[in-house]
Structure formats: C-alpha cells, structure tokens
Amino acid sequence: MDRKEFFKKGGCGLIAFAAVPALAGVININSDGMVPQRKRFSIEIEIYEAREDSWCHKKGDKFKYPGDMGEVCPWLRTSLHDFLRLMENDVTLPWRYEGTPYEKVINENGITTEYVRCPDPTADLVAKITRTEI
C-alpha cells in the first residue's frame, strides 16, 4: 500500500486524533456548530517578594509575557513556564491561598492572578502573574 492510499483509508487513526479534543470537551462548540473565538489576554509578571541582596531581580520588577521573558532569570523562567502556558490558554488553577499574602484574584473584572516561587534556594523570590482579559 502506498502512502496516499494509507492515509485515504484512515491510516494511524489520524482522523480520530483530530476529533479527540472536541469529544473530550477541550474545544467548546457553540449551538450553531462553530468554535468560539479564543479569549485573548495580557500577561504581566511582577516580582512580588525578593531578598534585598538578590542577584537577579528586585521587588517590583515587571515583565510582559512573552516579550520580556529573555530578561527573566532562567531559574524563575523555568518555574513560571507551566503557569504561564496554562494562564494564556484560559486555565484557572482553583487554589486561592486564602488568609495568606498570596491570596489570589480569580476572574474579577477579567483579572486572574497566580503566585510562583523561584526554586533558587538563595533567592527567596516570589513572582506574581497577572492575567488580564483583553
């Protein structure tokens, strides 16, 4: 069987892969059968806590995602990565950290926040991610 014939017969179940997101509810389909336009966000990272003698970032430093990611320390950038990817895809993590300095805002007037700690044991650094719906 040649390649074209293989794909015509649905080789490797490629059609099934295309259908899985819709069947799993990952893609929401309107009643008119259309996929709604994806939400757009502005995402900013602010250094929320940092030691005064921190070698990489100071409290109050701000960065735009994705444009300023080259300016973010590699340790912190690695910690932020998964949170940023989730947040840019309209995922909201459910924990709120109530009663702590890291209490989150969840979709209040289109704004959601998340806090991420840097894994560098000498940094004592926490970043605040703010996602604003455009």
Q: Give the Cα separation of 71 and 58 in Å (integer).
A: 13
Q: Strand, helix or coil at 23?
A: helix
Q: Give the Cα separation of 64 and 62 in Å (integer).
A: 7
Whether 134 contacts 41, CB under 8 Å:
yes
Which pLDDT score is estimated for 55?
87
Per residue in 13-68, pLDDT (tens digit) is 555 545 545 554 556 677 787 777 889 999 999 999 999 998 899 999 999 999 99
Which pLDDT score is estimated for 38?
86
The model's pTM: 0.73
E strand intervals along the chain: 41-49, 62-65, 111-117, 126-133
* pLDDT: which is higher, 12 or 107: 107
- Report the 10 Å Cβ neighbour count for 71: 13
Sign of CA dihedral 92, 97, 98, 101: negative
Give the residue-averaged pLDDT of 111-127.
94
Per residue in 65-105, pLDDT (tens digit) is 999 999 999 999 999 999 999 999 999 999 999 999 999 99
Which pLDDT score is estimated for 96?
93
110 band by pLDDT with thresholds 50, 70 and 90:
very high
The answer on pLDDT for 127 being more than 60 is yes
Which pLDDT score is estimated for 13?
52
Which pLDDT score is estimated for 121?
87
